[in-house]
Amino acid sequence: MIEKELKKRNLPDLFLGGEQTLSGWENAKPKIKDILLKEEYGYFPPHITPKISTLINEETFGGKAVWEEVNFTFEKNEKSHTVKTNLIYPKGKTNLPFFILLNFRPDVPDKYLPIDKIIDSGYGVFSVCYKDITEDNDDFSSGLSALFSSETRSDSEFGKITIWAYMAIRMMDYLQLRPEIDKDKIGIIGHSRLGKTALLAGAFDERFSFVCVNNSGCSGASLSRERYEWSEKLFHITKTFPFWFCKNYLKYSNNEDKLPFDQHFLLSLIAPRSVYVGGAIEDTWADNDNQFLCCYASSKIWELYGKRGLVCTERMPVENDVFMDGELGFFLRSGGHCLSEMDWDIYIKAQSKKFNL
Ligand code: GCU
């Protein structure tokens, strides 16, 4: 039944015509990365090292956590932009596991940032509000984009998702410098457009040991071919949010068969690390069948590394399915489009099991 559905999508080959082996995959990987950046998200801007300044508040959340405001100041071509972030972690602990959270708002706590749950589970969290990186619109002279964008954006120049992911990667650079953090236990989490962003950052930066991709839908962890009638298509997303992507992506609107990739290319880049794709039953816009099939089609790459990929039943997913036993997890919770406490519970539980926490 699953195979039949997958066949209908007629997906491009993950091995790009090469051998279906681990070395075939490793050979295809650089090309796959290049295709995704060139045709969909746009190339990352060059690495520049920001100046960091911090303000510390030791007395937060009943004294159980340390809260630091960390400011990243980027300078280039006489332009400068500062991004404010929040670093919160259990007090007096070492070897901390950490989440980088891409959020819609700067607030702590926030409805998508259940701080007590995260701290009480033994994790730290490093959060940023995406609009503080660059505005969510077609203005490439806003925020961090202004430092890198050309006046007439070239066809493969970064879109906003790439620049948000760029910031997450700079946050990862910073966490490498912190002695209280276990560098092998840093993950990333994002919801919806920021789920797409978390997926991109996690796929391109191997330092992320786990990636939580919540309700990411179209151009995230959901296949673009043969989408459910009432779900978002490339036509919708490239019309309403063309600036999330590079200009090359627009040519695939209503033309998905011509895509030289599908979203399983991006998901597979995370192998053999852990990735979790979270769906919500009422979030039909994201196309949950295609999120599941994206996982299913990618799973073989984890197996090539000797890992368990997607461990699931032999049928399409139904409400309350939780397939989190492999390194490639998928679940379909009840309710609608949001990053809920239930989602956090599922991600933390799965990851803590792997970290023996
Ligand atoms: C819109 C968009 C989605 C996106 C979502 C969000 O619904 O069409 O692709 O995931 O916004 O970010 O909330």
Q: How far is the CA of 193 from the centre of ligand 1 (A)?
A: 5
CA of 241 to the centre of ligand 1 (A): 9
Output DSSP code: residue 236.
H
Domains of the chain, by residue range, sit at 2-355
The overall longest dimension of the chain from CA atoms, in Å, is 58
> Tell me, what's the pLDDT at 356?
94
d(CA 357, CA 348): 10
Q: Is residue 217 within 6 Å of ligand 1 at its C-beta?
A: yes
Examine the pLDDT at 60 and tell me if it is beyond 90: no
Rounded Cα gap, residues 202 and 287, in angstroms: 22
Q: pTM higher than 0.85 for the full model?
A: yes
Q: Is residue 193 in contact with ligand 1, taking CB distance under 6 Å?
A: yes
DSSP per residue, 176-227: TT-TTEEEEEEEEEEETHHHHHHHHHHHH-TT-SEEEEES--BTTTB-SSS-
Task: State mean pLDDT over 44-51.
Answer: 97
pLDDT band for 150, please (50, 70, 90 cuts).
confident
What pLDDT, in 10s, does the model give residues 277-286?
999 999 999 9
What's the CA-to-centroid distance between 222 and ligand 1, angstroms?
A: 12
How far is Cα of residue 173 from the mean position of the Cα atoms in its chain?
17
**Domain 2-355 part of CATH 3.40.50.1820:** yes
Q: What is the pLDDT of residue 151?
A: 86
Helix (H, G, I), strand (E, B) or coil at 97: strand
Token pair 């290319």 is at which residue? 265
Nearest residue (CA) to ligand 1, atom 9: 218
Order of all β-strands in the sheet with 328-333: 51-60, 65-76, 79-90, 124-129, 96-103, 181-191, 210-214, 274-280, 328-333, 321-323
For the cut 80, the answer to whether the pLDDT of residue 59 exceeds it is: no
286 CA distance to ligand 1 middle (Å): 8
CB 272 within 8 Å of CB 210: no
What's the rounded Cα separation, in Å, for the pair 104 and 43? 23
Task: Give me the phi and psi of 10, to 5 degrees please.
Answer: 45, 60
**Burial state string for 40-63 with b = 16 or more CB within 10 A and e = fewer than 16:** bbbebbeeeebeeeeeeeeebbee
